Chain A
């Protein structure tokens, strides 16, 4: 299973997003705002997911901003920063 698909499943499950399947989320769709429609409280859950599943701390907010743009960007960030994939 690809990291991108893993992330989609985790986000749907942990954020309790209803009526959305992994295949409904495009790799380059925006996660926040008009894309998947996540907000700042969902960002809290994403930070928890990154810590729990990938042992990643998001210290740099500019990198966090880039990583939270899409599934593709988040997966790239994990590949670069995590030893657990």
Chain B
């Protein structure tokens, strides 16, 4: 079976532009970077078509009553928040997490959970700034394994190169043999934690579920891992709550306590996916400019997804 080829996320801006922001960050701190960002964003909103189109997939479901100028204003706010997130993501790597006020609700409980012999599937999403939350989980006693491709983007590389201690964060590359899932299963069997994104369908088996009023496609891999290994599921969400301030919350589902008896494998997966989507939707409605997903999840043409990914 060939190794998977997973396309990169849509990224806005040039490499030179990104480096400019990193230099500003390093020399002057995040505030000047935020101010410059406010003047750069109109170019992406009013001049380029692609960011407008890709932001529209989500915004038209989140704010279906909008049109014209109001939609453009929403797009500005949305892209501006994406820029803030990218700046913060790099800033936490460059400046250190001590500069940030991170409110991690029930952090100690999560650390206790991670000590158990059962593995944990830590389900993250493209909300808030998930990389920021990872700077906190790298304190855990056992390694946290990330199923992700370090995309060709300086912010990601900065974060993973500069933050945390190397022993506690491990990367499993989803473009390797069997999408990295053999290694993922091994680490779960060792009682470690695997962090995986729940809101990116590319290259994976999917299941449709109602999200923001319409059926959308979500990957089933996290729930398959939970049911096959009897692992616990932790859904972790983050939000930017102010200047250099973040909130991290999570919901824990213990495998033994879940209502899975008598269900087929598919029903179990649907049940777990439903829990995730309900939690994600509530969070996205609370922080509407912080779900950074620029794909058309609501396009149920599965063939199209598969044709682009394998």
Contact = CB atoms under 8 A, between A and B. Distances in A.
Interface of A: 16, 32-33, 39-41, 43-45, 47-48, 51, 57-59, 61, 64-65, 68
Nearest to B224: A41
Given A16-B265, A33-B1, A41-B205, A47 B177 contact: no
Contact of B177 (A39, A45, A59, A61): A61
Interface string B143-157: 000000000000000
A57 B185 CA distance: 10
16 contacts: A40-B4, A40-B179, A41-B221, A43-B178, A43-B181, A43-B182, A43-B185, A44-B182, A47-B182, A47-B185, A48-B189, A57-B186, A58-B186, A59-B186, A61-B182, A65-B177
A61 to B, nearest CB: 5
A47 B186 contact: yes
B47 interface: no
A10 to B, nearest CB: 14
Interface in B189-219: 189, 205
B177 A64 contact: yes
Interface string B168-185: 000000001111011111
A31 to B, nearest CB: 9
Q: Is the interface of B mostly helix, strand, loop or mixed?
A: helix
Interface of B: 1-2, 4, 176-179, 181-186, 189, 205, 220-221, 224-225, 228-229, 265
B220 A41 contact: yes
Q: Which of A41, A45, A48 has the most CB of B within 10 A?
A: A41
A60 to B, nearest CB: 10
A47 B188 CA distance: 11
A82 to B, nearest CB: 15
Given A43-B178, A44-B229, 13 more contacts: A40-B1, A40-B179, A43-B182, A44-B224, A47-B182, A47-B185, A47-B186, A57-B186, A58-B182, A59-B186, A61-B183, A64-B182, A68-B178
A61 B176 contact: yes
Q: Which of B176, B184, B185, B224 has the most CB of A within 10 A?
A: B185
A65 B225 CA distance: 20
Contacts of B265: 16
Nearest to A31: B1
B170 to A, nearest CB: 14
A65 B34 CA distance: 47
Contact of B189 (A33, A41, A57, A68): A57
Nearest to A47: B185
A32 B228 contact: no
Contacts of B182: 43-44, 47, 58, 61, 64
Contacts of B186: 47, 57-59
A41 B184 CA distance: 11
Contacts of A33: 1-2
Q: Which of B1, B181, B189, B265 has the most CB of A within 10 A?
A: B1
Contacts of B185: 43-44, 47-48
A64 B3 CA distance: 14
B205 A39 contact: yes
B234 to A, nearest CB: 19
A39 B206 CA distance: 13
Contacts of A51: 189
A38 to B, nearest CB: 8
Q: What are the 6 closest A-B residue pairs judged by CB atoms, nearest first?
A: A32-B1, A47-B185, A40-B179, A40-B178, A43-B178, A33-B1
A41 B1 CA distance: 13
Contacts of A43: 178, 181-182, 185
